[in-house]
Amino acid sequence: MSDPSVPVGSLTVARAYWLLKSEPDVFGYTDLEQRVSEPWNGVRNYQARNFLRAMQPGDLCLFYHSQAQPSGVAGVACVLTPAVPDNLQFDESSAYYDPKSTPDNPRWSMVEVAAVAALPRFLALDALRTLPELEGMRLLQKGTRLSVMPVTADEFRVIVTAGGLDAASL
């Protein structure tokens, strides 16, 4: 985190940190590494959507593998764009089509993301639970199903450091 601030237009705002869930059988971190830019679309939960809308270019994300053996944090991704309407909501052939969405009043949003660095040491859920600094982390609370959620700067630093990355270089 050599540069904890990010220019947004003429302003400079504090960089924010997030966690994105993905099922590696569908789209894992190694898939992200092969893309220049990946639309984070298909999110159909209002809370998660609101977090997408709060994202700014330059924000960093923990890339979390869910429904995996084991589940855990695989790498770091970067937000490339502000939120824009999710293209899939208008696509009748998509599983993410929403008939209640109109181009004038889109319900769902997405951002573009890119890979930054894989964790040299994959951090499985049970490993995350052993880190005392993460006791209050949203991801680890009972019943948390959100696929997009905020992470504190401290949580982010603790996780990438435990995963073998130099947090200051991100």
Q: How many Cβ atoms sit within 10 Å of the Cβ of residue 164? A: 13
> How far is residue 134's CA from residue 146's CA, in Å, rounded to a whole number?
17
Compare residues 23 and 91 and give the one whose CB is closer to DNA.
23
Q: HSE on the CB side for 82, CA within 13 Å? A: 5
If the CB atoms of residues 66 and 87 are measured against DNA, the closer one turns out to be: 66
Q: Report the site for DNA in 14-53 (rule: CB under 7 A).
A: 21, 23, 44-47
Q: Residue 155: is it exposed, middle or buried by C-beta count within 10 angstroms (0-12/13-18/19+)?
A: buried
One of 68, 84, 114, 127 touching DNA (CB under 7 A): 68
Q: How far is the CB of 37 from DNA (least distance, A)?
A: 23
Smallest separation (angstroms) from DNA to the CB of 46: 5
User: At its nearest, how many Å lie between DNA and the CB of residue 5?
Assistant: 30
In the region spanning residues 88 to 147, those forming contacts with DNA, defined by CB under 7 A, are: 125-126, 142-147
The piece of 7-15, 50-58, 64-72, 82-90 that touches DNA (CB under 7 A) is: 64-72
Residues 6+ apart with CB under 8 A from 48: 146, 147, 148, 149
Please tell me the distance from the alpha carbon of residue 87 to that of residue 96, in angstroms, as a whole number: 9
